[in-house]
Amino acid sequence: MSKEKDDNYWRERLTEEEFYVCRKAGTERPFSGEYWATFEDGRYHCRCCGEVLFESASKFDAGCGWPSFDAGAGEGVIAEQADRSLGMLRTEILCASCGSHLGHVFPDGPTATGLRYCVNSLSVKFHPEEDTGSEEADEG
């Protein structure tokens, strides 16, 4: 039996919209996603498995209506594959850990990487940067 999780597993854990984007390679409408205009410090995790995919320091406003980043959070967290849908050739990006569809990467980014990872908000979950240095209880 395959160790990969099937559609039923994901349908039980994701909303209908999240399932469409993450597991069926759908795309949310531009300027409709939760994070396209979010620029707080923090990390963007895979909506499906929780893997850290992008850091807020790599996020920029591409004007396209989707969250855009110039790099993944680390080596090997983002997988790529050819996407020949819609009559064109694009590079699809996926979570390397669970295979969740994230969006596409384009070679037109404005930074030194030259890349624009165009990501659906529904495929990620933002965790604001918080003071996680010490969990000691306050005394007093």
Residues annotated within a binding site: 46, 49, 95, 98
Active site annotation includes 118: yes
Between CA 124 and CA 40 the distance in angstroms is 15
Both tokens of 106, joined, read: 């384009």
Q: Which one of the listed residues 22, 48, 64, 118 is annotated catalytic? A: 118
Going by the annotation, the residues of the binding site for Zn(2+) are: 46, 49, 95, 98
Cβ atoms of 72 and 54 within 8 Å: the answer is yes
What is the number of alpha carbons within 13 Å of residue 99 lying toward its C-beta?
8
CA distance 139 to 96: 43
As a whole number of angstroms, the distance between CA 94 and CA 40 comes to 23
Q: Which residues are catalytic?
A: 118
